[in-house]
């Protein structure tokens, strides 16, 4: 486990050099597209049913996303250093969130009589009513579970219990790693799950050994177990 931490620490120096050489200006390159998208979205908010504005907003958003490296960098940086670079990330995330809201907005909905409702308040009532019919409405009384019946339910066999406590296989460690979303928040060391997935052919053996070692001796280095908690107003 110590070897993994040491290798990752040494790797940081090379990654900083790679960043300064190839990715220093990606934010500047995305600024013009960001500003244009912001203007078009402002017009669309004032007139959401305008077909021309909808098309312009979609085109501007797609053009903004063509700079994939910039988008990826901002997503990672927004999680790693949100407070230090809050202004930049707020602008970017605000544009993305606004685009999704406009894209998924419900401007009209049919009622039970087959008539179209355009009023937002009536649309909200229709949606709430639809899910109340499926899930039921709030009641004053709740039926309690009978503990005797729960105890008589299905239980694990001895073989199933042993299956849960057996040692993990390397294939299971890899499967668990690849089930983590690539854009999950980075750890204090700056390495996210996306890095481990992309470089698994190189780092996979060391990471697997470190994970299995933890489950065998129940010990973990402080550098790996560290976390950062930040209060965001």
Q: Provide the pLDDT for residue 7.
A: 81
Tell whether 219 is covered by a domain: yes
- Looking at the domain assignment, is residue 160 inside a domain? no
pLDDT of 93 reads 62
Regions of the chain with pLDDT less than 50: 81-88, 231, 233
Backbone angles phi, psi at 110, to 5 degrees: -80, 135
What is the per-residue pLDDT for 62?
81
Structural domains counted in the chain: 3
Domain annotation covers residue 148: no
Distance CA 132, CA 37 (A): 38
pLDDT of residue 175: 93
* Phi, psi angle pair for 117, to nearest 5°: -105, 130
User: Is 193 a member of any domain?
Assistant: yes
pTM of the complete model beyond 0.85: no
Range of the domain at 84: 21-105
pLDDT of residue 174: 93
**Look-up of token digits 């500047």:** 28
**pLDDT score recorded for residue 171:** 93
Q: Please report the pLDDT score of residue 233 as a whole number.
A: 41
pLDDT at residue 172, as a whole number: 93
The pLDDT value recorded for residue 86 is 44
User: Is 226 a member of any domain?
Assistant: yes
- The pLDDT value given to residue 85: 42
Please give the pLDDT value at position 24. Answer: 64
Residue 117 placed within a domain: yes
Picking from 119, 138, 157, the residue at the C-terminal end of a domain is 138
């Amino acid at each position: 486990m110590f070897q993994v931490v040491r290798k990752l620490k040494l790797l940081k120096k090379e990654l900083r050099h790679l960043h300064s050489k190839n990715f220093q200006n990606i934010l500047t390159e995305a600024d013009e597209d960001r500003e244009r998208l912001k203007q078009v979205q402002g017009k669309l908010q004032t007139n959401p049913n305008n077909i021309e504005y909808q098309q312009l907003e979609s085109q501007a958003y797609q053009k903004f996303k063509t700079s994939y490296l910039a988008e990826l960098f901002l997503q990672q940086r927004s999680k790693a250093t949100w407070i230090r670079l809050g202004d930049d990330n707020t602008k970017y995330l605000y544009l993305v969130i606004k685009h999704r809201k406009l894209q998924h907005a419900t401007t009209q909905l049919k009622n039970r009589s087959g008539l179209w409702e355009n009023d937002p308040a009536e649309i909200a009532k229709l949606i709430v009513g639809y899910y109340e019919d499926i899930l039921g409405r709030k009641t004053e009384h709740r039926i309690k579970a009978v503990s005797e019946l729960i105890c008589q339910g299905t239980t694990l066999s001895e073989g199933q219990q042993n299956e849960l406590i057996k040692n993990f296989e390397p294939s299971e460690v890899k499967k668990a790693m690849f089930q983590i979303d690539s854009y999950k928040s980075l750890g204090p060391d700056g390495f996210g799950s996306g890095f481990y997935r992309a470089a698994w052919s190189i780092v996979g053996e060391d990471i697997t050994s470190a994970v299995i070692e933890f489950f065998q001796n129940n010990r973990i280095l402080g550098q790996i177990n560290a976390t950062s908690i930040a209060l965001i107003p």
